[in-house]
Structure 1
Amino acid sequence: MKASVSAILFSLFAATASAAPCSNTSAGFDAWKADFAKQAQKAGVGKRGLQALQSTKYSQSTINADRNQKSFKLSFEKFMQIRGADTIVAQARRKKAKNPNFYGSLEKQYGVPAGILLAIHGMETGFGGFMGDSSVVSSITTLAFDCRRSEFFIPHAIGALKLVDQGSITIATKGAKHGELGHTQFLPGNALRYGVDGNGDGVVDFYNITDAMASTANFLRQKGWRPGVGYQQGQPNFAVIQEWNAAGVYQKAIANMAARIDG
């Protein structure tokens, strides 16, 4: 998940932006981590989170991916083709038909229709088929250290360490190149704030479909989703889709696919 971090999270962790100097290469990463650990501890990160931070490694593959995000510059039609929108819609319809009570209960509780949740799930991970192969904690820590958008990613790095503390992830947890995790690819700071224990087992596990879907619905509702109101471009709930991902072509794709899934 790639939505902007909440104002509350940012204000809570804004002090961490004064860490040791960032860098656009791996140079200085270990020194930065040592300084960042002190600030993370002040922000409430505990022993397990600090141990995870110590174990992180600079991720060059994450930096490479961050410098090469071309798909969001495509036309809407090309983006839909490359992302396999027709396949996502067809699979989503089958999933909705197979488990209507599950998606119905989520809509009843959060007001978010199945089409939106399934479109996001399909777009992000192919319905859980591939949730990433990069260390979540190392990836997000690397981006916090990288100068390009360090202020944006520092709160998410703190969030990842706190997720380790609470048992939602470990240093070994794999996610996307930018540290997104689970079925719908939450950024760690958002996962920490909006995560829901949907199956009631005492752990918010974003790699569990029930927790992930409930957390995604909760995120959208907390961001202002209005039950029963339209979500196409120009309609009130489209602004909430914009909170999930900042790319205009992605936002239009989710709205389009969701309407076809629920239609």
Structure 2
Amino acid sequence: MRPIILALLLSQLPSIGAALTCGNTSSGFNAWKTEFAQLARQRGIGRAGLSALEQASYATATIRADRGQKSFRYSLEKFMQVRGADTIVAQGRKRKARDPEFYAALERQYGVPPGILIALHGMETAFGGFMGDSPVVAAITTLAYDCRRSDFFIPHALAALELVDRKAITANTRGAKHGELGHTQFLPGNALTYGVDATGDGKVDFYNITDALASTANFLRQKGWQPGRGYQPGEPNFEVIKQWNAASVYQQAIAIMARRIDS
């Protein structure tokens, strides 16, 4: 599944969603999987991806998390306190000082300064300390089945199955409650579109820090990051941070932490 195919899927969302029977409880999930498997076959998903779909169980914890997101409603001050902004900045400065050439190389290639990548890495997974305990395929297919935002998650569910086909993940790969994976928590569709094999080993591994941060930098650059331009609110690259996460407090927190890390 190439980026152009994912874009085509996004353009076809109303027709795709209309062809599937969503639900708000676990009772219809297995029947939905049968429908979704037919769609997946039509979209070129192979045996491994279809097997992963067959194994997927309804992710109750994912639905619970989806219904209970609270931190994005906090004030900026409260959000930064709850998410450990001071710790992220302190650890982020140490990481940058420990491996300056790694971050400098990413900036040379993609134009994204170290502070942004480090702040995102710290915010998303505490620098890889916790990358999630939910099976990615089960989580993302549950959200694709759930009526609340099925149209948004259906392309990502198809992408997750494609990632299984490519051996980038397995049916048992663990990630966040909403199916995000790796060091910086890429949704599967974004993983397919923006993933970079920075290590040169022939595969994109989002659980490898080099591939993950290069992919993150590539995502930001492809979304319009302008090298050398500012990223605080009102500056050109702040608009790109919005492409990573839609929550205003998250965007502001990343900009503040990145500036402190790079200062």
Please give the TM-score of this superposition, normalised by the length of structure 1: 0.96
Partner residue in 2 for 1:178: 178
**Cα displacement (A) at 1:18:** 3.0
Residues 229, 236 of structure 1: 8 Å contact kept: yes
Partner residue in 2 for 1:111: 111
Residues 92, 118 of structure 1: 8 Å contact kept: yes
Partner residue in 1 for 2:217: 217
Give the partner amino acid of 2:55.
S
Give the partner amino acid of 1:244.
W
Partner residue in 1 for 2:91: 91
Moved over 4 A (4+): 6-9, 12-15
Residues 50, 161 of structure 1: 8 Å contact kept: yes
Give the partner amino acid of 1:58.
Y
Q: For residues 195 and 218 of structure 2, what CA distance do their matches in structure 1 show?
A: 8
Judging changes above 3 Å, is the alpha-carbon distance between structure 1 residues 89 and 109 closer, same or farther for their aligned structure 2 residues?
same
Please give the per-residue CA displacement for 1:46-79, whole angstroms capped at 9, x wherever unaligned: 1111111111000010000000000000000000
Partner SS state of residue 39, structure 2? helix
Please give the per-residue CA displacement for 1:75-116, whole angstroms capped at 9, x wherever unaligned: 000000011100000000000010011100000000000000
Partner residue in 2 for 1:187: 187
Residues 13, 151 of structure 2: 8 Å contact kept: no
Q: For residues 33 and 7 of structure 1, what CA distance do their matches in structure 2 show?
A: 23
Residues 19, 32 of structure 1: 8 Å contact kept: no
Partner residue in 2 for 1:120: 120
Please give the per-residue CA displacement for 1:182-228, whole angstroms capped at 9, x wherever unaligned: 00000111001100001000010000000000000000000000000
Name the % identity: 68
Partner residue in 2 for 1:3: none
Partner residue in 1 for 2:231: 231
Partner residue in 2 for 1:252: 252
User: How big is the alpha-carbon RMSD for the aligned residues of Structure 1 and Structure 2?
Assistant: 1.2
Q: For residues 79 and 257 of structure 2, what CA distance do their matches in structure 1 show?
A: 12
Where does the alignment leave 5 or more consecutive residues of structure 2 unmatched?
A: 1-5
Please give the per-residue CA displacement for 1:219-258, whole angstroms capped at 9, x wherever unaligned: 0000000000000011110010000001000000000000
* Alignment: residue pair count: 258
Residues 231, 238 of structure 1: 8 Å contact kept: yes
**Cα displacement (A) at 1:7:** 4.7
**Cα displacement (A) at 1:20:** 2.8
Partner residue in 2 for 1:133: 133
Residues 19, 36 of structure 1: 8 Å contact kept: no
Judging changes above 3 Å, is the alpha-carbon distance between structure 1 residues 79 and 131 closer, same or farther for their aligned structure 2 residues?
same
Q: For residues 146 and 9 of structure 2, what CA distance do their matches in structure 1 show?
A: 20
Residues 144, 157 of structure 1: 8 Å contact kept: yes
Partner SS state of residue 27, structure 1? helix
Pairing of 1:1-263 with structure 2 (within 5 A): 7-8=7-8, 10-11=10-11, 15-263=15-263
Judging changes above 3 Å, is the alpha-carbon distance between structure 1 residues 8 and 253 closer, same or farther for their aligned structure 2 residues?
farther
Residues 156, 188 of structure 1: 8 Å contact kept: yes
Where does the alignment leave 5 or more consecutive residues of structure 1 unmatched?
A: 1-5
Please give the TM-score of this superposition, normalised by the length of structure 2: 0.96
